[in-house]
Amino acid sequence: MVEYPITRAENGKKLHRFLRQNLPGLPLSGVYKWIRVGRVKVNRKKGKPDLVLHEGDTVQLFVSDEEYAALRRRGPKFQGVPRTFEILYEDGDLLVVNKPAGLLTHPDRQEHRDTLINRVLAYLYDKGEWDGRAFAPAAANRLDRNTSGIVLIGKHAQALRELADALRGRRVDKRYLALVHGRIETPGTLKQALIRDHENNRTRLAGEKRGRHGVAPETLEAETRYRPLAVAERLTLLDITLVSGRTHQIRAHLAAAGHPLVGDIKYGGKPLRGLRHQFLHAYALTLADGRRFVAPLPAELRKLLESYGLSTDVPAETSTST
């Protein structure tokens, strides 16, 4: 006998659907037959196909280990998608990962296969936590291709909805490390509204450029708080709190302030010692319930800081001064 405890992710599923998702090698006719002859029980009682499962229930499958393993084998849905990514935390609701620079969070027109979310889906598919048909786990926050750091994945609809609500309500503390050009001696806040230029994939300060035919594009409120951690030559390492979450917000705000990110060629930054993408790392994130996750600096960024004699330890504080 194989026992399967029902988690929050499976709460509310009907028994026949649960079996189809977890035993993809068993045809639907076989699912109904197993239930009918008593090879499937719920809490040690004979079930019915439309029985609704609840968190805390236990499904018993009267099957040998060999047969169970064979029925759980899955097809090549994610053939060629790497399974490599760093997991910082995982439970039945949430997956917290450390995205490397160079990897898209979601597919776009140029790359639709090897993305962070596809790697995560392949991983959950292989584990049997997602069947490829039900609600697809998704990222609650998004990082630019060349920004590294923490991404939150909601494993089911309710978890994703709660994460999205917390982010919209600004109940999630998001912290970044950025290396910028120029010297910054004191903490500050950048509160300029932004506009998004989708055609050129750029973000600008509101009022900096008007849209076609003189119509101003939509403006979005944006707030970025920063605190200098160290200065070396004409470079400053900043600890940044992202209050709002606009596309390219940190990059556009700091560039407009005269301090573009090192390596951020799109916004006026210059590459240093081989780093040709922006030095921006989402190093810490604290949820509304107090759980805090920290992503170590990538080796490439750590070596660059060391070359200038700057500390590579992430800050211990959980708030940024204004």
Alpha carbons 1 and 40: distance in angstroms, whole number: 10
Which one of 144, 165, 289, 313 is the catalytic residue?
144
- Angstrom CA distances, 106 to 109, 119, 143, 206, stand at 10, 10, 9, 27
Q: Phi-psi bin for 128: left (phi > 0), alpha (psi -120 to 50), beta?
A: left
CA torsion sign, 255 to 261 to 267 to 273?
A: positive
According to the 3-state scheme, what is the secondary structure of 90-142? ECCCEEEEEECCCCCCCCCCCCCCCCHHHHHHHHHHHHCCCCCCCCCCEECCC
Angle (deg, nearest 10), helices 28-37 and 15-22: 120
Which tokens go with 104? 């898209």
- Angstrom CA distances, 220 to 21, 124, 175, stand at 42, 35, 20
Give the side-chain half-sphere CA count within 13 A for 264.
29
Alpha carbons 36 and 30: distance in angstroms, whole number: 10
Beta bridge partners of 188: 226
Q: How far apart are the first and last CA of the chain?
A: 60
Alpha carbons 231 and 221: distance in angstroms, whole number: 30
Active site residue 50: no
- Angstrom CA distances, 209 to 113, 214, 250, 264, stand at 35, 9, 18, 21
Reference 302, options 187, 180, 177; nearest CA is 177
User: Which are the catalytic amino acids?
Assistant: 144
